[in-house]
């Protein structure tokens, strides 16, 4: 203990031993790394001094962030600045290709705008606006009367709470309660029902003075013509009383047309059956005709004097006697 004396700094005998164990190449690399680290440290100190001495627009020193000690020590590790590696290719697709059918691909606009593929031209848009204007014309607010005598009342119960759409379109004053309680009078009929059940024609149904109708949007497609709705008692009054005269005459005409349709359908069926039979007979006759054998006689073989001979069929061997002059 007495021989060991503490000194400042303490002796480092291992450094000389370690230096003696290193090769000249290792010593040279250590010196180069030390010099690089000192150069980077001086460069960083100069940059810090320049940034701290230059004031900003407010005559204040800019706020700086001290770099990490790893950067200050001059670490040459470029792991964080290295470019990202490309994605590995799937080995299952090596030597193969993917074929896309571009005719079936749909542009979804990134998932925000989806087109249904139905392009509407200007003519279709104009017709749709016209139909919308026709429907909106029926929904105008009715006038308000201060005189109770002028206020329209329901034709069934006398209520003033009438359906003004029915009054404006059909000229019929009826409340919603009576309209729902008596569907045999105030229900609405489509154009197809009027043509099939009451045997009315298109010109009669399109005449608004003869049969007023309510326009509604077509439930099958918005681009189709408006749906025409007729009031049942008005249709029955015109069809039964004015056109056909009575319900018996309407039923008789209906039965007559049904029988005529049935007769025409039967006639068409018989005509098709006749054509089928005719084609079948022709095919059988042609088949028999094709199956008939036609003799193909060869050269006449002479059998005696005077030009007599025999001709033989090449296919079946049938023989006929001939005489040549």
Three-class secondary structure assignment of 177-233: HHHHHCHHHHCEEEHHHHHHHCCCCHHHHHCCCCCCEEEECCCCCCCCCCEEEEEHH
- What topology does CATH give the domain 124-245? Nucleotide Excision Repair Protein XPA (XPA-MBD); B Chain A (3.90.530)
pLDDT exceeds cutoff 60 at 1: no
pLDDT, tens digit, 9 for 90 and up, residues 257-278 = 999 999 999 999 999 998 888 8
In the chain, where are the structural domains located?
124-245, 262-316
Q: Is the dihedral of CA 185, 188, 194, 197 positive or negative?
A: negative
Burial of 187 (0-12, 13-18, 19+ CB in 10 A): middle
pLDDT exceeds cutoff 80 at 97: no
What confidence score (pLDDT) does residue 113 get?
A: 56
What confidence score (pLDDT) does residue 302 get?
A: 76
C-alpha to C-alpha distance for 249 and 257, rounded to whole angstroms = 12
C-alpha to C-alpha distance for 214 and 163, rounded to whole angstroms = 13
pLDDT exceeds cutoff 80 at 64: no
Give the pLDDT mean for 274-283: 83
pLDDT, tens digit, 9 for 90 and up, residues 240-250 = 999 998 989 99
């Amino acid at each position: 203990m007495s021989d060991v004396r503490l000194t400042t700094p303490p002796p480092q005998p291992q450094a000389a031993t370690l230096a003696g164990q290193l090769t000249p190449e290792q010593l040279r690399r250590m010196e180069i790394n030390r010099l690089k680290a000192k150069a980077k440290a001086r460069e960083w100190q100069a940059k810090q001094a320049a940034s701290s001495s230059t004031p900003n627009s407010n005559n204040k020193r800019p706020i700086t962030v001290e770099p990490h000690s790893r950067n200050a020590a001059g670490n040459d590790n470029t792991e964080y600045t290295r470019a990202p590696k490309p994605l590995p290719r799937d080995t299952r697709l090596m030597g193969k290709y993917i074929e896309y059918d571009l005719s079936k691909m749909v542009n979804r606009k990134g998932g925000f705008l989806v087109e249904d593929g139905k392009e509407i031209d200007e003519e279709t848009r104009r017709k749709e606006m016209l139909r919308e204007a026709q429907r909106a014309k029926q929904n105008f607010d009715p006038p308000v009367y201060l005189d109770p005598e002028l206020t329209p009342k329901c034709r069934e119960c006398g209520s003033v709470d009438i359906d003004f759409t029915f009054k404006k379109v059909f000229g019929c004053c009826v409340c919603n309660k009576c309209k729902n309680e008596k569907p045999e009078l105030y229900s609405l009929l489509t154009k197809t029902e009027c043509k099939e059940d009451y045997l009315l024609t298109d010109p009669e149904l399109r005449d608004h003075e003869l049969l007023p109708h309510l326009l509604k949007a077509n439930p099958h497609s918005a681009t189709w013509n408006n749906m025409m709705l007729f009031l049942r008692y008005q249709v029955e009054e015109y069809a039964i009383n004015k056109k056909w005269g009575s319900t018996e005459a309407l039923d008789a005409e209906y039965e007559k047309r049904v029988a005529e349709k049935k007769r025409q359908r039967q006639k068409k069926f018989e005509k098709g059956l006749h054509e089928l039979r005719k084609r079948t007979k022709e095919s059988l006759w042609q088949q028999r005709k094709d199956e008939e054998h036609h003799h193909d006689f060869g050269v006449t073989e002479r059998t005696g004097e005077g030009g007599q001979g025999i001709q033989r069929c090449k296919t079946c061997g049938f023989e006929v006697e001939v005489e040549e002059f």
